[in-house]
A and B are shown apart, each in its own frame.
Chain A
Amino acid sequence: MKLSIGHLYPELLNLYGDRGNIACMKKRCEWRGIEAQVTEFSLSDPVDFSKLDIVLLGGGSDREQQIVCTRLQSIREDMKAYVEDGGSVIAVCGGYQLLGHYYETGDGKMEGLSLVDLYTVQDSPRLISNIVLKNSSIFPYEIVGFENHGGRTFIGENKPFGEVVYGSGNNGKDGKEGILYKNVVGTYLHGPLLPKNPHVCDYLLSNALERKYGKGELSALDDTQEIEANRYIRDRFVK
């Protein structure tokens, strides 16, 4: 079996250890004998979504995000078709904001991909903190990470990635964090997200395998160190 992972525009969107998310997906495939091929796309590269099983969209500075935003409009239709067909996407921080309709800042409105029904408005202060989420219907234990964003994101009636147990989440008000839409995970959590949350990594891998091969079961790995690191953060912030 083989999964093809596309990393979109890492030369611009590479804040906050996004490479850790790639490394995590790659290793957890390898350790199970699944081949994982990672392709990095730069701004001028064409993206053939029919050849991808997982797409990672990371975060960048506002300036860099603006550059990417212009480029994204040209791949929007293809990416939309990919998402509607059940293609897996993991979008973090700036990448998460770009999934929505727009990101409104003091300097104007950055148009997003409109792949998912959400929007973001900049506000102060920046929400900077460790964060702990819970979504027990899908994930067997907590999701931990770090958030650092000025945007306040509103997802309407969509399903969140998790309920906030500690930290601010989408907007600091409604107790929700991120979004789950088909096989898209959008979230403000870096840390990076996947290494300390192997259950989230496996969720992405499993969805991608299910779509490609009709078989999403994954063999178990020894996650003692991952779970210890996860619990350590949870216990530190959630009494």
Chain B
Amino acid sequence: MKIRRCAAILAARILSFGCRIAGKQGVTMAGKLAMRIDPNILKDLSAQVRGRIYMVCGTNGKTTTNNLLASALEAEGKKVICNHTGSNMLMGVAAAFVLNASLTGKIDADEACIEVDEASTVKVLPYMKPDYMILTNLFRDQLDRYGEIDITMELLEKAMAMAPDMKLIFNGDDSLSAYLAEKSGHAAAAFGISEQVFDQKETGEIREGRFCKKCGGRLEYDFYHYSQMGVYHCPSCGFSRPKILFDARDISMKGGLSFRVGKDLLTADYRGFYNIYNILAVYAALCMSGHSPEKLNEVLKNYNPQNGRNEQFTIRGSKVLLNLAKNPAGFNQNIAAVMEDPDPKDLIIVINDNAQDGKDISWLWDVDFDAFSDPSIRSITVSGIRGMDMRLRLKYVDIPAMLEMDVEKAIRDRLADGCGNLYVLVNYTALYSTHNILAAMQKKGGTS
């Protein structure tokens, strides 16, 4: 048994090391190999965590929320296991533990922050007993892989039932998350934003859950934040937005984010309204688990994700911001974040259709790209396997785009002829490679 465990850990390390040398991520493969050699490894290692296990789920914001939470716990002096890279299926979760274990099969961890893909929750839970599930939101995503959002919700419901002692920390502004929390019967705390931030106009934005999950009646909204996030109730059955325990107020988005929650004022440099929810989720998790949110501002200030989520690069004096945009709700929020920057900017959009992206890219047409027809957008370049689809999408909102199938060339060209302020929006499988391209250019001073 001991030998088997040692072999599993050693094999995973070697594989992971080899992959890194080859410039590949390899985390998932390392986890897979370890689980094949020693099927109990995840169960035993995760049971060694001395404190709490936090499981972060939800369509958007998982990686940012999870990594921020891990950083916040580390700031408290805790040793934390975290699947930083966002490898969030069973094998990625296994790798996070295995690659942190000693060869004798021991891990030294106070807490674990583990993001788990919604559909994988039922596969992960037999091996891991989380104390908390943080549910960020539920949107349509990769319909070809997961089927409809209803199917994702059924899976999450099953997963919650598998862990009856797990407490929920969920987004109360999302009627779908709130419905799941209520139905599960678990102890739960909601975070949300009760004040109206945006002027209401009917944007035609795609919204999930317009109808009450409980009775099928049409939900009524006092106002929306974005997508289906907002303050809602069902006039037919009485289902309504739950009591919000962690309520963000005095929200400002001028030159960054700031808001109050409880007695604390939180500020962050990044743009994007959606990040308020991510920070709020972390704040709620810290408070619920008896940690102090005192150092959260410091953590937010020093937080440099290095994983392509809002990641900043400087290449030969040009500012480059890389961000992941992989579904309509996320993309719309990203567009809003880009447009919060009033300065002239160039834009590169990379769309792939590999299995992990979802092979169906119809969702591009559910994104509101109209906002890019603004004089501050100097140019748009499209790339990736589905660059032609992206170009066509823009054509139908009368926005011309340049096509360059080679991502590296697209970046190099825009750094050469652009305005020094470049945004790169990519979907999932383009993230890692684009990140590497930008990181290498930054290191070299972009002289290539």
Q: Which residues of A contact B (CB under 8 A)?
A: 11-12, 14-20, 23-24, 27, 61-64, 67, 126, 128-130, 146, 148, 190-192, 195-196, 225-226, 228-229, 232
B395 in contact (CB, < 8 A): yes
Q: Given A62-B150, A63-B150, A146-B144, check contact A229 B389 (CB 8 Å).
A: yes
Residue contact A225 to B392, C-beta cutoff 8 Å:
yes
List B residues 276-313 near A (Cβ within 8 Å).
none
A196→B386 CA distance, assembly (Å): 12
Residue contact A232 to B388, C-beta cutoff 8 Å:
yes
Residue contact B147 to A195, C-beta cutoff 8 Å:
no
Residue contact A61 to B149, C-beta cutoff 8 Å:
yes
Binary interface encoding of chain B residues 380-395 relative to chain A, with 1 for a CB under 8 A from any of its CBs, else 0: 0000000011011101
B206 in contact (CB, < 8 A): yes
Interface centre among B144, B210, B391 (most CB of A within 10 A): B144
Residue contact B149 to A190, C-beta cutoff 8 Å:
no
Q: Given A17-B363, A146-B362, check contact A62 B148 (CB 8 Å).
A: yes
Q: Considering the complex of A and B, which 6 residue pairs feature the smallest CB-CB distances, nearest first?
A: A20-B365, A17-B365, A17-B362, A61-B148, A229-B388, A16-B362
Q: Is the interface of A mostly helix, strand, loop or mixed?
A: mixed
Q: How far is the CB of B208 from chain A (nearest CB, A)?
A: 10
Complex interface: chain A residues within 8 A of B397 (CB): 23
Complex interface: chain A residues within 8 A of B445 (CB): none
A130→B389 CA distance, assembly (Å): 14
Complex interface: chain A residues within 8 A of B359 (CB): 128-130, 146
Q: How far is the CB of B413 from chain A (nearest CB, A)?
A: 20
Of all chain A residues, which has the CB nearest B366?
A: A17
Q: Number of B residues whose C-beta is below 8 Å from A?
A: 28
List B residues 379-430 near A (Cβ within 8 Å).
388-389, 391-393, 395-397
Interface centre among A17, A23, A62, A128 (most CB of B within 10 A): A17
Residue contact B147 to A126, C-beta cutoff 8 Å:
yes
A90→B366 CA distance, assembly (Å): 19
B235 in contact (CB, < 8 A): no
Complex interface: chain B residues within 8 A of A226 (CB): 392
Residue contact A128 to B144, C-beta cutoff 8 Å:
yes
Complex interface: chain B residues within 8 A of A229 (CB): 388-389, 391-392
Binary interface encoding of chain B residues 347-390 relative to chain A, with 1 for a CB under 8 A from any of its CBs, else 0: 00000000000011111111000000000000000000000110
Residue contact B396 to A61, C-beta cutoff 8 Å:
no
Complex interface: chain A residues within 8 A of B360 (CB): 16, 128, 146, 148, 190-191
B143 in contact (CB, < 8 A): yes
A18→B366 CA distance, assembly (Å): 8
Complex interface: chain B residues within 8 A of A63 (CB): 150
Complex interface: chain A residues within 8 A of B364 (CB): 17, 20
User: Can you list 24 A-B contacts (CB < 8 A)?
Assistant: A12-B211, A15-B140, A15-B143, A15-B148, A16-B143, A16-B360, A16-B362, A16-B363, A17-B363, A17-B364, A20-B365, A23-B365, A61-B149, A62-B148, A67-B216, A130-B359, A146-B359, A146-B360, A148-B143, A191-B360, A195-B396, A229-B388, A229-B392, A232-B388
Residue contact B395 to A225, C-beta cutoff 8 Å:
yes
The one of B143, B204, B362 that contacts A191, using a Cβ cutoff of 8 Å: B362
Of all chain A residues, which has the CB nearest B390?
A: A229
Of all chain B residues, which has the CB nearest A23?
A: B396
Q: How far is the CB of B202 from chain A (nearest CB, A)?
A: 10
Q: How far is the CB of B389 from chain A (nearest CB, A)?
A: 6
Q: Given A17-B363, A17-B366, A20-B362, check contact A195 B392 (CB 8 Å).
A: yes
Residue contact A61 to B150, C-beta cutoff 8 Å:
yes
Q: Given A67-B216, A146-B362, A225-B391, check contact A19 B150 (CB 8 Å).
A: no
Residue contact A27 to B396, C-beta cutoff 8 Å:
yes
Residue contact B392 to A192, C-beta cutoff 8 Å:
no
Complex interface: chain A residues within 8 A of B392 (CB): 195-196, 225-226, 229
